[in-house]
Amino acid sequence: MGTEESKVLQVRDLHVQLKTKNGITDLVKDINFELKPGKVLGLIGESGCGKTITSMSILQLLNRKETIIKGSIMLKGQELNGLAEKEMRKIRGKDIAFIMQNPMNAFTPVFTIGHQFVETIRSHTNWNKKQATELAIESMKQVNLPEPNKLLKYYPFQLSGGMLQRVMIAIAASLHPSIIIADEPTTALDVNNQKKVLRHLDKVRSDYGSAILLISHDLGVIAELADEVAVMQHGQIVETADVFQLFDNPKHEYTKKLLNARPTLYLDEPVINLI
């Protein structure tokens, strides 16, 4: 265990409840974990176990009229739970970046990639359009996107899913956030693009020291990138361990079942450079 200062995010006793006509329903309960700079925590479990609800709680994106969020979510010493929306907007995208599962959902179809990229940068800095554009181009080069100048003029539908995912990673990494939440970032991609995305995320954390919360139902993906793994089942974390320990000696029966069902993805295999 490190000092409090070494933890960029601490989630303590997180409970999320849904208000229904029949009363209160627990979505997640007793969630505890932390993120350290430059480290990757894999949050894994089957669909519906509460992974995305947990990430949406951190980002404070759940409807406050329909949900109750209890517990503490500390970002570099600042409590996020209950923070005013105006203050959270300053944090999202700058201190906490979010990579969505379906890249097409992350972009507004009627605006160019460049417009959305540049406006994201300018909303968190005092930079002018020229400076923001230069950063956008450089960020896109970092994820090996070809001819960024041209891509900035394209609309989302003109790019493939793999390219859009890399644009989203470029946007997420451009302001060097303390945390990147990657929610199923490879699910919609073919195997070749999965490898590329994982390599880019690994480069971001090593270059900028960003902590990554990698959410996935795929232990093969988690194995390639995570330092530690938290396994979720029915809204609770049932096992937390170092990634090697988890794979070599899983304790919980649910973890053992996930391990037996996992596919394998090797990052050291050559990547075909398809655009």
pLDDT band for position 273 (cuts 50, 70, 90): low
Return the number of other C-beta atoms located less than 10 Å from residue 225's C-beta: 22
Instruction: Say whether pTM exceeds 0.85.
Output: yes
* Cα atoms found within 13 Å of the Cα of residue 67, Cβ hemisphere only: 20
Is residue 25 in some structural domain?
no
For residue range 171-187, what is the model confidence (pLDDT) as tens digits? 998 999 999 999 988 87
User: Measured between alpha carbons, how far is 93 from 89 in angstroms, rounded to an integer?
Assistant: 8
Is residue 160 in some structural domain?
yes
Q: Is 230 helix (H, G, I), strand (E, B) or coil?
A: strand
For residue range 54-81, what is the model confidence (pLDDT) as tens digits? 999 999 999 989 999 999 999 999 999 9
What single string gives the DSSP state of each residue in 181-220? Answer: EEESTTTTS-HHHHHHHHHHHHHHHHHH--EEEEEES-HH
Query: Percentage of residues in the chain with pLDDT exceeding 90?
Result: 68
User: Measured between alpha carbons, how far is 233 from 31 in angstroms, rounded to an integer?
Assistant: 11
Which domain, by its residues, includes 222? 37-67+90-261
User: Measured between alpha carbons, how far is 239 from 236 in angstroms, rounded to an integer?
Assistant: 9
Is residue 20 in some structural domain?
no
Which among 208, 152, 147 is positioned nearest to 177, based on CA atoms? 208
Average pLDDT across the chain, whole number:
89
User: Measured between alpha carbons, how far is 65 from 78 in angstroms, rounded to an integer?
Assistant: 23
Give the pLDDT mean for 83-100: 92
CATH number of the domain that residue 163 is part of: 3.40.50.300
Residue 30 vs residue 104, higher pLDDT? 30
- Give the model's pLDDT for residue 2: 45
- Give the model's pLDDT for residue 5: 53
- Give the model's pLDDT for residue 8: 95
pLDDT band for position 1 (cuts 50, 70, 90): very low
- Give the model's pLDDT for residue 241: 95
Look at the block and give the residue holding tokens 């991609």.
Answer: 189
- Give the model's pLDDT for residue 189: 77
Is residue 84 in some structural domain?
no
User: Measured between alpha carbons, how far is 128 from 142 in angstroms, rounded to an integer?
Assistant: 21
Look at the block and give the residue holding tokens 């029966």.
Answer: 253
Is residue 50 in some structural domain?
yes
What's the domain count of the chain? 1
**Residue 180: phi, psi to the nearest 5?**
-120, 125
Which among 232, 196, 194, 195 is positioned nearest to 213, based on CA atoms? 232
* Cα atoms found within 13 Å of the Cα of residue 12, Cβ hemisphere only: 9
H or E segment and range at residue 59: none
Query: Percentage of residues in the chain with pLDDT exceeding 70?
Result: 93
For residue range 121-171, what is the model confidence (pLDDT) as tens digits? 999 999 999 999 999 999 999 888 999 999 999 999 999 888 898 899 999
Is residue 1 in some structural domain?
no
Give the pLDDT mean for 102-129: 92
